[in-house]
Amino acid sequence: MKILVLNCGSSSLKYQLIDMDNEEVLAKGLCERIGIDGSKLTHKAEGKDPYVVETPLPDHEAAIKLVMNTLVDPEHGVIESVDEIAAVGHRVVHGGQAYSSATLVTPTVKKVIRDCFELSPLHNPANLMGIEACEAAMPGVPNVAVFDTAFGQSMDEKAFIYAIPYDYYEKYGIRRYGFHGISHSYVSKEAVRFAGLDYKTAKVIVCHLGNGASVSASINGKCIDTSMGLTPLQGSIMGTRSGSIDPTIIQYICHKEGRNVDYVMDILNKQSGILGISGVSSDFRDVQAAQHEGNHRADVAIQSFVYRIAKYIGSYITAMNGVDIIAFTAGVGENDGEIRKAVCDYLGYLGITIDDEANAMRGKERIISTPDSKVIVAAVPTNEELAIARQTLALVTSR
Ligand code: AMP
């Protein structure tokens, strides 16, 4: 059975066609600059050269049509007919409080996605456009929404509630939702399986460290806590996002600089984090290069990032009353042994020791702690597309 996985941004559309018989990626690609001059598709099919099509893509429907035509193209495609696609799995960022697992798209589901536009203005409108483009291009093919917020729905109220008047939760759903849920859920399962632990009982901490960064604690797929909040701005320090700050800072900057809240929010989302502290870049590799050359602000940015992650881990160990495995994932977490080591250096009191050789290796999932380490530490590549395809398959085959 073949599942198409879509991840739509406001002007982009990423896709993978996965054969679920062996979980092999048959083709993947990206449509860029949708609705903007210079749009193009870059398509890569297994065993074939990359294929680039530069053509106007006025909207997501045009992009989906181009993807379909490319997938069945005799030279560059991988299927004979669109009928071979059994279902489409969509990454949807915000599902509010309505969905704690993947769900078949219906008019009600689309309304919930629309109702969450305000909470996820950059992503949810694009996600819905992708769904509606598929409905138009492939009538009858089921669409499944896989929510990034679903994992966080299993948090207890004591963990997700903000200490502001309860009315705001009841009236507007203001609570912590958590994001990167598809990744946290996938990596927690993979890490436990790989380490040979019992999924039902293992206490797992996942550090998803990429341009966006978040930490989660979970047991048996139940999210005990996760670092992001109502939006992905809360939590650890990120590439350009501040993470958690004293809210008074917003008012203070507004008064000092004669700006409005929207301006400061933009600064907190796009000009802060590693970029804001270092003044060098939002990309860890650039900031680390500057750190190694003796740049003070780059050094503070990296140290502050590491310190905050270590503090999340410490607090989540308290929340779960223990930890069996800590897994690092995403761009930094998967690739950057220096950051992983620096975080684990704070955790010596737990009896964690890192195997420097394993930590220096790249690529596949691997245990990076020594055999006598009291807690297993692993680097586990995330695979959100495969997670979406698995959830989509499970849903369409159980109907
Ligand atoms: P992501 O958002 O998961 O794609 O992660 C992006 C971040 O990962 C960027 O800050 C990159 O600098 C960082 N990154 C990617 N590859 C590496 C690497 N090999 N070493 C260190 N950082 C990396």
Q: What is the 3-state secondary structure (H, E, C) of 291-360?
A: HHCCCHHHHHHHHHHHHHHHHHHHHHHHHHCCCCEEEEEHHHHHHCHHHHHHHHHCCHHHCCCECHHHHH
Q: What is the pLDDT of residue 389?
A: 98
121 C-alpha to center of ligand 1: Å? 25
Q: Among 278, 284, 292, 384, which residue has the most ligand 1 atoms within 8 Å of its CB, making it the best to mutate?
A: 284
DSSP codes of every residue in 206-242: EEEESSSEEEEEEETTEEEEES--SSTTSSS--SS--
331 is in an annotated binding site: yes
58 — pLDDT class (breaks 50, 70, 90):
very high
332 is in an annotated binding site: yes
Q: What is the pLDDT of residue 112?
A: 96
Q: What percent of the chain has pLDDT over 90?
A: 95
232 C-alpha to center of ligand 1: Å? 18
- Of 37, 68, 73, 69, which is closest to residue 55 (Cα–Cα)? 37
Chain-centroid distance of CA 167 in Å reads: 30
Q: What is the pLDDT of residue 399?
A: 81
Does pLDDT of 199 surpass 90? yes
Does pLDDT of 363 surpass 90? no
Q: What is the pLDDT of residue 13?
A: 94
Q: Which atom of ligand 1 has the smallest separation from the CA of 282? A: 10
If you average pLDDT over residues 132-157, what whole number do you get?
Answer: 96
Q: Please answer whether residues 326 and 340 qualify as being in contact, where contact means their C-beta atoms are separated by less than 8 angstroms.
A: no
337 C-alpha to center of ligand 1: Å? 12
Torsion of CA 308, 313, 315, 321, to 10 degrees: -170
Q: What is the pLDDT of residue 375?
A: 98
Ligand 1 atom 22: the closest Cα is on which residue? 332
Q: What is the pLDDT of residue 10?
A: 83
- Across the chain, mean pLDDT equals 96
Give the C-alpha separation, 365 to 193, whole Å.
11
Our CA angle for 59, 126, 15, nearest 5°, is: 80
Give the C-alpha separation, 376 to 30, whole Å.
36
If you average pLDDT over residues 115-141, what whole number do you get?
Answer: 92
User: In the numeric block, which tokens belong to residue 274?
Assistant: 């590693």
> For residue range 256-293, what is the model confidence (pLDDT) as tens digits?
999 999 999 999 999 999 999 999 999 999 999 999 99
Q: Among 148, 184, 336, which residue has the most ligand 1 atoms within 8 Å of its CB, making it the best to mutate?
A: 336
Q: Please answer whether residues 389 and 184 qualify as being in contact, where contact means their C-beta atoms are separated by less than 8 angstroms.
A: no
Q: What is the pLDDT of residue 122?
A: 82
Q: What is the pLDDT of residue 97?
A: 93
121 — pLDDT class (breaks 50, 70, 90):
confident
Give the C-alpha separation, 232 to 265, whole Å.
12
211 is in an annotated binding site: yes
Ligand 1 atom 19: the closest Cα is on which residue? 335
Q: Among 238, 335, 361, 383, which residue has the most ligand 1 atoms within 8 Å of its CB, making it the best to mutate?
A: 335
Q: What is the pLDDT of residue 364?
A: 86
7 is in an annotated binding site: yes
Q: Which residues pair with 209 in a beta bridge?
A: 213
- Which residues contact ligand 1 via a Cβ below 6 A? 210-211, 239, 283-285, 330-332, 335-336
279 is in an annotated binding site: no
If you average pLDDT over residues 75-95, what whole number do you get?
Answer: 96
397 C-alpha to center of ligand 1: Å? 36
Q: Which residues are catalytic?
A: 148
364 C-alpha to center of ligand 1: Å? 16
- What is the amino acid identity at position 380? V
144 C-alpha to center of ligand 1: Å? 29
285 is in an annotated binding site: yes
